[in-house]
Amino acid sequence: MKNITQLALNEKGIIKGFTNSDLSVKLMEMGCLPGVEVSLQLIAPFGDPLAIEVCGYQLSLRKEEASSILIEE
Amino acid sequence: MAKNFDLKIALVGNPNSGKTTLFNLLTGLNQRTGNFPGVTVDKKSGKMKLPDGRLAELIDLPGTYSIYPKTLDEQVVQDVLLNPKHPQHPDAVIVVADASNLKRNLLFFTQIRDLNLPCVLALNMIDVADRRKLQINLRSLTIDLGVKILPTNSRSGAGIELLKQALTEELPRPKKAFYPVRPLAEQTIDHIKEGFDLSEDYRAYQYAQQNKRLSFLSDLEKEEIEQIKKKNGFYDVPTQSQETIGRYALISDIIDRNIKTAIEGSSSLSKKIDQITTHKVFGYLIFALILLVIFQAIFAWAEWPMNLIENTMAELTAVTKSLLPQGVFNDLITDGVLAGLAGVVVFIPQIALLFGFIALLEESGYMSRAVFLMDRVMRSFGLNGKSVVPMVSGMACAIPAIMATRNIENWKDRLITIFVTPFMSCSARLPVYTLLIALVVPKVDVFGFINLQGLVLAALYLLGILAALVSAWVLKIILKTDLKGYFIMELPSYKVPKLKNVGLTIYEKSLTFVVEAGKVIIAISILLWVLASYGAGEDFENAEAIVTQKMADGSMGEDYEVALSAYKLEHSFAGTFGKFIEPAIRPLGYDWKIGIALITSFAAREVFVGTISTIYSIGASEDDELTIKERLSEEKNPWTGGKMYTPALGYSLMVFYAFAMQCMSTLAVVYRETKGWKWPIIQTIYMSAFAYLAAWLTYTLFS
């Protein structure tokens, strides 16, 4: 299963689902909903955290959290 | 005060929606900061005059993305809105939404709307939306959302008067919920509505979702709801997911219908700036440079206003001393209260500058980039990217810094940050460092251009940072928790900071510092004054006679006064205690005189300098550093007969002050923030032990 961390910089993807239900509640509040387009925008030095663009704004999250967001292949 | 208002209006909205700017515009300078009852979250409220002549109290609630709180600050929003008996429960709500980022902002709005609170929607940052070529059909959006919508531009102030006007009219309460939650949990909602006499489905649903978190419910009521949930098979997380998905589905439709976009995505200029500010080399360079500028400002620019305050306070003390009749009361006011007050107000310039810079960084949007950049590094020490702000603030003063830890969601990360922040060299250590460095570090250049005294000062700051990081790392291993924190944070677009906002933040934070720290420092100053002015035993009682006898030439002038006060201090309670602890501090190279200073400066570090000058009988008229320095360099070591203030002792003291807790106000704040004495006590013991060992090691190495 592909997740957000496997996207290349500036690559787009469509959210398919989540692997962690507690975290998904918070992520969905922030606009990361199944079916929504995201793109990987920034990778911090040392590879973590990341910033994605979703719902027209930038959201930063840790690699571990980002890996819980699954992307349609 | 609250009784003078005709109505209460709450301002709510997402972070970065320009809510605070709007608050400042609506209230002007008629603001006050207080606390919400029972919690330590700052409550900002202000007076707002409506066009119909009514006076409203406008309450600025902390920014939040939804009605489900993640942090202490957000918890307040929920308490205020869901509890009709809360003293701040509003008669009307202004929901602020960022028009350029409407979809996410509307989620919280629809939740508020479904609580059936009278509300208006302020479509803020309409200028940004225009720039992004967003065409918003206001009329049809108003119909779809069922509330009044006012476009505002909090940067220019456009739309503010119309917003005020809208508040004078009756706000329609929509008959139907925006998103009906009933199908999600019919029985649960009905049971709770009946049991708690509620009329809105969503309110009852919130009771079910958050029964454990709602502070206004009794334990019995919480349990009752728990039973209802159990009986009807209500599970928090899946239901909340369904709710969020359902709300967003409706919101998406509405956005698609009413907003036409020309360009997709967030600001491209912001993205370009991000390429530099989060770059693996330039990113850290820029961050380091910003910190450097801040320190430079705190130390260089704050100097003259600090001198001004010091001189004014000294004059005020002198005038008071001459005006009040001689006696105990005079001494208490001048040496106790005013001395304590002077110790607080002298830090205002530094604190104000620091908060000014932090506000600038936050307003501009840079701060969240610094957090983004530092998270990975900080995490290896058990901290969090968000610990950067409190730790940087800790270099001015630990009190506001510890209060700034509130936006760290994870309790463990927050606790560790609170625990280690006092290790950062705060401005109160500066007077101690300055005096001791001047005393024992020669004024020479190393490598021809680096000032050795400056180098030692920089090393002390570095020591503080290292101690903080090492301690955090140790705590990370010791503290076990199953609670996993997350780090989901918006990176707002860069903005040109609004100076009015920065100014108001400076004012507000400085005031909090003066009031919070001031209370403790003044109280302790009075206590210390008593301890240092009174004593038991014959030596203290007959001080005058004994000193007169000792003064061979029988002079009664200033020399006599100085000798008398030194003698009295030696035999006072504080002096007795200093002698009592002498054996314990002997290994660090300290005698009982320094012991007294250690005790008195437990209130606040800078008290050290004042106490030292009293102990070594430095006349009040010559109370400047040069004379203290001269007097100290003459002091003889009682054991060896050599110089007392050797480099070894100087360094040992500096290291001690770098690490020891020595600040009552910090303790008080930690007590408040951790809700108990456990952590402040552990922290004091840990820091004192750390300081003792480090000072002992330093003394041994240098002597």
**Using a CB-CB distance cutoff of 8 angstroms, which residues of chain A are in contact with residue B266?**
53, 56-58
Contact B601, B662 (CB under 8 A): yes
Asked whether B81 and B93 are in contact (CB, 8 A), the reply is yes
- For the CA atoms of A28, A34, A39, A41, the dihedral, rounded to the nearest 10 degrees, stands at 20
Q: What is the mean pLDDT of residues B273-296?
A: 89
The CATH T-level fold of domain B2-168 is Rossmann fold (3.40.50)
- Got the DSSP string for B437-488? HHHHS---EETTTEEHHHHHHHHHHHHHHHHHHHHHHHHHHH----PPP---
Tell me: the pLDDT tens digits for B147-183? Answer: 999 999 988 888 999 999 999 998 878 888 999 999 9
**Would you list the DSSP string of B569-607?**
HHHSHHHHHHHHHHHHHGGGT--HHHHHHHHHTTSBTTH
Asked if A25's CB is within 8 angstroms of B373's CB, the reply is no
> Longest Cα pair distance anywhere in chain B, in angstroms?
98
User: What is the distance in angstroms between the Cα of A72 and the nearest Cα belonging to chain B?
Assistant: 18
User: What was the pLDDT predicted at B447?
Assistant: 77
Question: Is a pLDDT exceeding 90 seen at residue B699?
Answer: yes
Judged against a pLDDT cut of 90, whether residue A52 lies above it is answered with yes
Query: Nearest-CA distance from B477 to chain A in Å?
Result: 20
- The pLDDT value recorded for residue B552 is 62
Question: Do A42 and A50 form a contact (C-beta atoms < 8 A)?
Answer: yes
pLDDT in tens, B373-398: 999 999 889 898 999 889 988 887 88
Q: Which two tokens stand for residue B113?
A: 């709307």
Six-digit token string for B127: 């200028």
Taking the C-alpha atoms of residue B575 and residue B593, their distance in angstroms, rounded to an integer, is 8
| Alpha carbon distance B677, B68 (integer Å) | 29
Q: Where are the beta strands (DSSP E) in B99-190?
A: 119-124, 134-136, 148-151
**Residue with token string 């903080």:** B468
Q: Does A9 touch chain B if contact means CB atoms closer than 8 Å?
A: no
Instruction: Return the H-helix or E-strand segment holding A17.
Output: strand A12-18
HEC assignment per residue over B3-43: HHCCEEEEEEECCCCCHHHHHHHHHCCCEEEEECCCCCCEE
Mark out chain B residues that contact chain A at CB-CB < 8 A. Answer: 65-66, 68, 70, 100-101, 103-104, 107, 237-238, 240-241, 244-245, 248, 264-266, 270-271, 274, 278-280, 283-284, 368, 372-373, 375-377, 385, 486-493
Domains of chain A: 4-71 (2.30.30.90)
* pLDDT number for residue B287: 92
CA distance B665 to A63: 38
**When comparing pLDDT for B303 and B204, which is higher?**
B204
Closest partner CB to A62 (pick from B68, B240, B487): B487
CA distance B383 to B391: 10
User: Is the bond preceding residue A49 a cis peptide, omega within 30 degrees?
Assistant: yes
d(C-alpha B50, C-alpha B638), whole Å? 73
Tell me the pLDDT tens digit for each residue of B515-544. Answer: 876 776 677 778 878 887 888 777 777 777
Residue B371 to residue B383: CA distance in whole angstroms: 11
- The domain ranges of chain B are 2-168, 502-645
Q: What is the pLDDT of residue A19?
A: 94
pLDDT tens, B583-614? 999 999 998 889 988 988 887 888 788 777 76
Using an 8 Å CB-CB cutoff, list chain B residues near A59.
488-491
| Amino acid, res. B314 | A
How far is A14 from chain B, CA to nearest CA, in Å? 15
The CA-based diameter of chain A, rounded to the nearest angstrom, is 30
Q: How many C-beta atoms surround the C-beta of residue B537 within 10 A?
A: 10
Measure CB to CB from residue B372 to each of A26, A29, A51 and give the nearest one: A51
Whether A57 and B107 lie within 8 Å, measured CB to CB: no
- Residue to mutate among B210, B491, B493, B494, with most A CBs inside 10 A, is B491
CB pair distance less than 8 Å for B491 and A62: no
Could you give the CA distance from residue B217 to residue B200 in angstroms, rounded to a whole number?
A: 17
Residues of chain A positioned with their CB less than 8 A from the CB of B103 = 31, 55-56
